[in-house]
Amino acid sequence: MVGLPGRGMHLGIDPLSALFLCLLAPQVVAAAVAVERKSVTFWVFVLGMVLALVAADSFALILGFELMSAASWLLVLRGDRRPDGRPPATLYAGVALFSAACLIPAVFLPAGGIAFVLLLLGAGAKAGLAPLHSWLPRAHPAPSAGVSAVMSGGMVSVALYVIIRYAFIVFGNAAEPWWGTVLMAVGAASVLIGALRCLLEVELKTVLACSTVEHMGLIAVGLGVALRARAMDDPALASLALQAALLCAVAHALFKPLLFLGAGAVHHATGTTSLDWLGGLMRCMPRLGVLMLVGAAGMAALPLGPGFAPEFLLLHAVIAAAGSGGVMAWIGFAALFGILGLSAALALAAGVRVIGFGFLGRPRSLHAAAAEEADRLTLIGMGILAVCCVLVALTPGLLLRAMAPVISEAVPGALPQALAYAPLPLALLMAVLAAVAFVALRRFGARGEREVPAWNGGFGKPPVWLPFGDPATQPIASGFAEPVRRVLGPALLGRAGLDPGERYILAPLSRLHLRLTRLAELVRRATIRQRLAFVFGALVMFLLALGLGQNG
Amino acid sequence: MMGLQIFTNSLAHFLAGVLLLCAFALLSQRRLAAMITLVQAEALVLSAAAFWQGLVQGSDGLFLTGIITLCIKGFLLPIALRRITRQFNLIRAVETVMPVGLSMIIGVGLIGIAVMVVLPGSAGTVTLTHEDLAIALSVVLLGLLVMTTRRNALSQVIGFLSTENGLVLAAIGMPGMPFVVELSVALLVLLALLVVGVFVFQLREHFETLDLSGIEAIERRGR
């Protein structure tokens, strides 16, 4: 028995932890099948996550959470390739320590505003919510593909679980509307910055990590709306928003590991994940390409994909919440709606960019041209996730009905809302229409053949010395993102194009660190006399304070 | 009887005041020879104070304290220090870190702090031991100030001795102070002198000077 002295460790499973365990299972299985069967650290990492999910007391939860942090730090350290010369493992350790320093007091404090803010700082830093998100696009791509997949799909989900567990269930009765507002603001900022960077980054794994920030933001917005509605005694709205958030968490935990495993396979096959050097992979790696297409459909929130239903519900919830306060609520929720719409468009562009520049077109480098299909185990692992993705995409209604106990656990008196979106009949209808069109075309279409010039597929006009076209004349991924960078970059990223999280948090911290180091160096280099003078000065100060305290 | 009591206390205070004056004069001296003389004078006054207290309190331990102080700090240490200064030709002026006037102003401030700490705000409850303690604390602080404001290793030793004198003054002013403490303090001073002596010889061997500023420059460059 491990636990507080004299009290054992309590484990237990309720609907909420069962949901997150279900969500953890497919990605762990897929990552294990694909890459990480033998790594002990990986299994310790998984054990930590499971422990955090099944914990029934705060101590066990913290133990699991920190075990997860420590193991994932080891994994980041091991895979740390430092593409830009900065050590993400050190940054990651710093974030993990900060998170622990906020979370440990938060879970042991009495329910209230301070505990909630600490909880949000601690678990939010781990989940990659703005403004503490800038470590995530650096650290998540660093380890190997399987670990990246579980970090980006599972670890952030565990952090969300902690937020839901404490904000809704443990602190639930002390909740105030401003808690939800804070969560929504944090979520909206993450959504915006995540979606924008997701479109601008060039490395495939970094793109996926930025998309993680965006989806965490979406979930946080959903949770924020739910928390606010719960504190304002509106169980119908609260359950609608919570449904959106949980469905989004489920979808994200399926398609993000899928995409990360695919990115790892691409890296293995071509030696790079830079979208500017890929292209034409659909021809060499057709199965991987199809699997990635399923994942990218989820990431882009396309209809009939896994990511659409949660966004649809979330927008419904935001519209419904707009009428729940004064004029400020109208303005705020209208702005939130605009941000969500903008980020949905950016996410769509990012999804198109991943597939269009990574897998379509013609190879932009010899490595990409010579890529071979990923190995069978990776394909099997990704296949498991893709099947789950399709199931979730086609039957969100069933999933929501299965989630009803979770909703009523988190929101007392919940009224689960029916989903006004039925993808399965829609898909069937489209299949029937396609079949009818196909048959009609075969039956009544024109016969015979006709030669037309091929569409040049986005290529520029080839130079005269390369009559068949040069792959380098294709537009590249950074060029595709350039219009968006011109329009939104200066406003959101500043002139240097740096993430605000780095510019306003990491850079000042780094300057502070430099200053403290200089101070420490000054103390270390002090001569005997200076040290004596320092001790003497401290003594005199102490005596002075003592004297003033006595007489004052 | 009452008159004898007043006389006893005023003599004790007079000796303590002379000690404080010596400690204060230590701050103003630039020359090592004069500093050694002042420390010797401090030790003589201290031993006189110890004998007087021993007589008044009727305690043999205090006589022993006075004898030890007289022998070690009144004669042995000054003779050793003078030998060192002669050996290294250090009779010339010592270099101070801050101007003498400034260090004396700071010294006055330190005495003020010591008085403020030890004497309670309400004047009615002032006892005579308190005043003794205030003077002793002032001497300790002034000795520390000497240690921090001088560059020369020997003058730091002298500042240390002055600090130690302040501690002993506090000890003999308190009736019933155990003698063991005094003995250990004296031994400690001897030990410090030994260490510093070795240190000084080493310095002399390596740098041909006792001025610590050369070492400080090396420390700054080297580390």
The domain limits of chain B are: 2-222
Min CA distance, B116 vs chain A (Å)?
5
Chain A residues within an 8 Å CB radius of B223: 524-525
Question: Which chain B residue shows the shortest CA-CA distance from A534?
Answer: B148
DSSP assignment, residue A201? -
Most A CBs within 10 Å, among B125, B216, B223, to test the A interface: B216
Q: Please work out, in degrees rounded to the nearest 5, the angle formed at the alpha carbon of residue A143 by the alpha carbons of A139 and A146.
A: 120
Beta-carbon separation of A551 and B121 below 8 A: yes
Beta-carbon separation of B212 and A527 below 8 A: yes
| Residue keyed to tokens 């401003």 | A178
Chain B residues within an 8 Å CB radius of A532: 144, 147-148
Here the tokens at position A191 are: 């959504």
> Along the 223 residues of chain B, how does pLDDT read in single tens digits?
556 667 777 888 889 999 999 999 998 888 888 888 999 999 999 999 888 888 887 777 788 878 888 887 888 888 888 887 787 776 665 666 678 888 889 999 999 888 888 876 555 555 556 778 888 899 999 998 988 888 777 787 888 888 888 888 887 877 666 654 565 566 667 666 766 775 666 566 656 666 666 666 766 665 4
Chain B residues within an 8 Å CB radius of A528: 212
Give the DSSP letter string of A61-115: HHHHHHHHHHHHHHHHHHH---TTS--HHHHHHHHHHHHHHHHHHHHHSPSSHHH
Min CA distance, A524 vs chain B (Å)?
9
The dihedrals phi and psi of B211, each to the nearest 5 degrees, come to: -75, 125
- Low-confidence residues of chain A: pLDDT under 50: 1-2
- Rounded-to-integer distance, Cα B79 and Cα B85, Å: 10
Min CA distance, A517 vs chain B (Å)?
15
Beta-carbon separation of B117 and A550 below 8 A: yes
Beta-carbon separation of A544 and B113 below 8 A: yes
Contact A402, A246 (CB under 8 A): no
Beta-carbon separation of A548 and B110 below 8 A: no
Min CA distance, A515 vs chain B (Å)?
19
| Residue keyed to tokens 């595709």 | A480
Question: Which chain A residue shows the shortest CA-CA distance from B122?
Answer: A551
Q: Please work out, in degrees rounded to the nearest 5, the angle formed at the alpha carbon of residue A293 by the alpha carbons of A290 and A299.
A: 155
What's the confidence (pLDDT) of residue A432? 95
Read off the pLDDT of residues A259-285 as tens digits, 9 standing for 90 and up.
Answer: 999 999 999 899 888 888 888 888 889
Q: Residue B113 is nearest to which of A525, A532, A547, comparing CB atoms?
A: A547
Q: Residue B219 is nearest to which of A527, A532, A548, comparing CB atoms?
A: A527
Chain A residues within an 8 Å CB radius of B116: 544, 547-548, 550-551
What's the confidence (pLDDT) of residue A86? 62
- Rounded-to-integer distance, Cα A163 and Cα A120, Å: 7
Min CA distance, B131 vs chain A (Å)?
15
Chain A residues within an 8 Å CB radius of B120: 550
Contact B103, B143 (CB under 8 A): no
Question: What are all long-range contacts of B50-54, with beta carbons under 8 Å and residues at least 24 apart?
Answer: B50/B168, B50/B172, B52/B8, B52/B11, B52/B12, B52/B15, B53/B12, B53/B172, B53/B173
Residue B50's Cβ-side half-sphere holds a number of Cα atoms within 13 Å equal to 29
Residues in chain A whose Cβ is within 8 Å of chain B: 524-525, 527-529, 532-533, 536, 539-540, 543-544, 546-548, 550-551
Contact A227, A167 (CB under 8 A): yes
Q: Residue A550 is nearest to which of B121, B145, B147, comparing CB atoms?
A: B121
Here the tokens at position B198 are: 């070795």
Beta-carbon separation of B116 and A529 below 8 A: no
Min CA distance, A527 vs chain B (Å)?
6
Min CA distance, A550 vs chain B (Å)?
7
Question: Which chain A residue shows the shortest CA-CA distance from B218?
Answer: A527
Min CA distance, B90 vs chain A (Å)?
20
Q: Can you give the pTM of this predicted structure?
A: 0.75
Chain B residues within an 8 Å CB radius of A529: 97, 148, 151, 156, 212, 216
Chain B residues within an 8 Å CB radius of A550: 116-117, 120-121
Q: Which residues contact A101 (CB under 8 A, 6 or more apart)?
A: A122
Given the cut 0.95, state whether the ipTM is greater than it.
no
What's the confidence (pLDDT) of residue A362? 79
Residues in chain B whose Cβ is within 8 Å of chain A: 97, 110, 113-114, 116-117, 120-121, 141, 144-145, 147-148, 151, 156, 212, 215-216, 219-220, 223
Contact A368, A273 (CB under 8 A): no
Q: Please work out, in degrees rounded to the nearest 5, the angle formed at the alpha carbon of residue A491 by the alpha carbons of A490 and A494.
A: 50
| Residue keyed to tokens 């914990």 | A55
Q: Which residues contact A318 (CB under 8 A, 6 or more apart)?
A: A221, A225, A333, A336, A337, A340
- Rounded-to-integer distance, Cα A472 and Cα A482, Å: 17
Beta-carbon separation of A532 and B147 below 8 A: yes
Chain A residues within an 8 Å CB radius of B151: 529
Here the tokens at position B94 are: 């010592």
Chain A residues within an 8 Å CB radius of B215: 527
- Rounded-to-integer distance, Cα A388 and Cα A461, Å: 43
Min CA distance, B121 vs chain A (Å)?
5
Beta-carbon separation of A532 and B148 below 8 A: yes
Beta-carbon separation of A525 and B220 below 8 A: yes
Min CA distance, B144 vs chain A (Å)?
7
**Total beta-carbon pairs less than 8 A apart between chain A and chain B:** 45
